[in-house]
Amino acid sequence: MFACPNCRQRLVRATSPKGVVFVCPNCGGRAVGLAVVRRSAGERIVKSLWLRGMKKTDAGGKRCPVCNRWMREIPVPVDHKDLRLDLCRECQFVWFDAREFEQLPAVAEQPKPLQAIPLEARERLAVAQIQHRAEMPQWEAPEGGGLGGAPPEEPWKWIPAVFGLPVESDIAPVRSIPWLTWGLAAVLALIYLVTFRNLEGVVERLGFVPDQALRLGGATWLTSFFLHGGLLHLLTNGYFLLIFGDNVEDYLGRWRYLALLFFATICGDLAHVLLEPRGDLPSIGASGGISGVIVFYALQFPRAQLAFFVRWFYWLRVPAFVALALWILLQFLGAAVQIEGLSEVSSLAHLGGALAGLVAWIAWRNR
């Protein structure tokens, strides 16, 4: 039912003198409701934990064992040091790693029980509500995971959303600065500024043409990645690289991330060579490589929430794996149109890059 956020083992329900807890038999961690924490450590600890959790807006802890959302890592002062606990504000559960629960101070006074409802009945009601929440699909949860919801907290996200682009709604922050992603986006922008005045001539020389796949010693398989046919083409590719690439770079590390981009770019060009009927039609843009990043992101972080601005200030929120399925469907439709010669957008290159992303995820998903 509930899974340990450290080792993904199923938690075992246990009864303590203070109430019900859920314990991992493998690592010794435990999920404890706030009511049990209050009876164990007192009101001061719970109040400190909850107030700090309400002030902390970014998610940076572990996955909640109940709803699988990102918890907030909260430092709680205990015996002149900070005990870093993970709090799920929606489920009101606290995760304690092994031997952390024992570091809580002994309760100074017991809270007065409610007279209207017996303690045992209230505990059963709370556990039933938590179990119901855990059994709900991620996209039906009331807050943050629903199809509809509040707009994102960051005002800048309205800009891409108004143009139909997805924005990240719920994913843990990266642990390191994504220098490679930022640097690559800057290089793409710089090259566009240098080449846009003579773009046609540059594409003729450095674009990837299926009938001339080996010209310049095969260098055009890579040089085409840095060329873009217009400002909108550049902005779209740069945006997807920035919002998805930072998490993938953070997970893989820079060298594996660079290898993923290289592999996806080559696979995208290869799909364009094999299936594009117009052999003289050049292919440019970073879309093939970025498609591999998109697929890796959606498979590695399937429950990351993506928000779309629909209309009348309504926000559609879907998990990343749902958005990926819709995106793949659109690419297959685009590829069919491309093969018929009715489109100059290389959806085939997108699908080739997507396949590379799938292969990379299978190889590196358990890093």
Instruction: Say which CATH number the domain at 311 has.
Output: 1.20.1540.10
Domains of the chain: total: 2
The predicted structure's pLDDT at residue 356 = 95
In a domain, 142, yes or no: no
Record the tokens describing residue 367, joined without a space. 């890093």
In this predicted structure, which of 22-31, 83-92, 221-230 has the lowest mean pLDDT?
A: 83-92
How does pLDDT run across 241-251, given as a tens digit for each residue?
999 999 999 99
- How far CA 116 is from CA of 39, 113, 119, 131, in Å, comes to 19, 9, 10, 23
In a domain, 263, yes or no: yes
Same domain? For 162 and 230 the reply is: yes
Beta-carbon contacts of 178 under 8 Å, excluding residues fewer than 6 positions away, are 245, 246, 249, 250
Same domain? For 188 and 297 the reply is: yes
In a domain, 351, yes or no: yes
| Mean pLDDT of the 14-37 span | 85
At residue 112, does pLDDT exceed 70? no
Same domain? For 101 and 182 the reply is: no
Q: What is the DSSP letter of 217?
A: G
Residue 50: pLDDT band by 50, 70, 90 thresholds?
confident
In a domain, 176, yes or no: yes
Same domain? For 262 and 360 the reply is: yes
The predicted structure's pLDDT at residue 278 = 82
In a domain, 309, yes or no: yes
Same domain? For 92 and 127 the reply is: yes
Same domain? For 175 and 323 the reply is: yes
In a domain, 5, yes or no: no
Record the tokens describing residue 180, joined without a space. 């490679």
In a domain, 285, yes or no: yes
The predicted structure's pLDDT at residue 142 = 37
The residue that leads in pLDDT, 144 or 184, is: 184
Q: Do 292 and 360 form a contact (C-beta atoms < 8 A)?
A: yes
Same domain? For 92 and 160 the reply is: no
The predicted structure's pLDDT at residue 367 = 66
The predicted structure's pLDDT at residue 135 = 53
Same domain? For 234 and 328 the reply is: yes
The predicted structure's pLDDT at residue 186 = 96
Residue 333: pLDDT band by 50, 70, 90 thresholds?
very high
Record the tokens describing residue 204, joined without a space. 């003729």
At residue 89, does pLDDT exceed 90? no
Last residue of a domain, one of 136, 169, 201: 136
Report the chain's mean pLDDT, rounded to a whole number: 83
The predicted structure's pLDDT at residue 161 = 86
In this predicted structure, which of 118-127, 133-142, 215-224, 226-235 has the lowest mean pLDDT?
A: 133-142
How does pLDDT run across 150-181, given as a tens digit for each residue?
667 678 888 888 888 998 877 767 778 899 99
DSSP E strands, 59-122? 72-78, 81-88, 93-96
Measured from the Cβ of residue 155, the count of other Cβ atoms closer than 10 Å reads 8
In a domain, 141, yes or no: no
CA angle 310, 59, 314 (to 5 degrees): 10
Same domain? For 168 and 306 the reply is: yes
- Pairing label, strands 72-78, 12-16: unpaired
How does pLDDT run across 289-319, given as a tens digit for each residue?
999 999 999 999 888 888 888 876 678 888 8
Same domain? For 119 and 164 the reply is: no
Same domain? For 122 and 199 the reply is: no
The predicted structure's pLDDT at residue 54 = 73
Last residue of a domain, one of 68, 103, 136: 136
In this predicted structure, which of 135-144, 297-306, 346-355, 358-367 has the lowest mean pLDDT?
A: 135-144
In this predicted structure, which of 19-28, 31-40, 46-55 has the lowest mean pLDDT?
A: 46-55
Same domain? For 337 and 230 the reply is: yes
Last residue of a domain, one of 77, 108, 136: 136
d(CA 169, CA 154): 10
What is the share, in percent, of the chain residues with pLDDT greater than 70? 86
Residue 101: pLDDT band by 50, 70, 90 thresholds?
confident
The residue segments making up the domain with residue 124 are: 12-136
CA angle 108, 110, 115 (to 5 degrees): 165
How does pLDDT run across 186-244, given as a tens digit for each residue?
999 999 999 988 888 898 889 888 888 888 888 999 999 999 988 999 999 999 999 99
